[in-house]
Amino acid sequence: MAGESEGGGWFDEAWETVRQWVEKVWEWGVDLVKALVNTLYDMLFDVFLRIVDAVLTVVVGVIGGIGELISWNPAEYIGDLPSEVSNMIGLIGLGEATTIIIGAIIIRLLLQLIPFTRLGS
């Protein structure tokens, strides 16, 4: 009986070993749950990014298709005009006038990009 009162003997050592084993298993389980949650988060985020990528791929395709539809070249139509009309267009300087007007419109739009500038619109 004297051995039992001093420190508990083999039972306390066995109990401590079991307690340490249960703590290690618990820590392993907690780490496993954390890893599963992180993996699930990464998977859902990847699915979201794949959906965004697919939508943007479709948008790029649609924009590219629209660009092909709007490939309007006025030079094709000027060549079809009668020679008298194209001669008159050259004499009155319609090409130069169009260039000046388009340049003025572009400059006006660029000036409206400057903050606190209101040029009539």
Going from N- to C-terminal start, the domains of the chain cover 1-71, 73-121
| pLDDT tens over the chain, length 121 residues | 444 555 568 888 889 999 999 999 999 999 999 999 999 999 999 999 999 999 989 888 887 777 666 666 666 777 788 889 888 888 998 888 888 998 888 888 887 777 766 655 5
pLDDT in tens, 45-79: 999 999 999 998 988 888 777 766 666 666 677 77
Identify residue 4 by its one-letter amino acid code.
Answer: E
Q: Region of 8 please: left (phi>0), alpha (psi -120 to 50) or beta.
A: left
**pLDDT recorded at residue 72:** 64
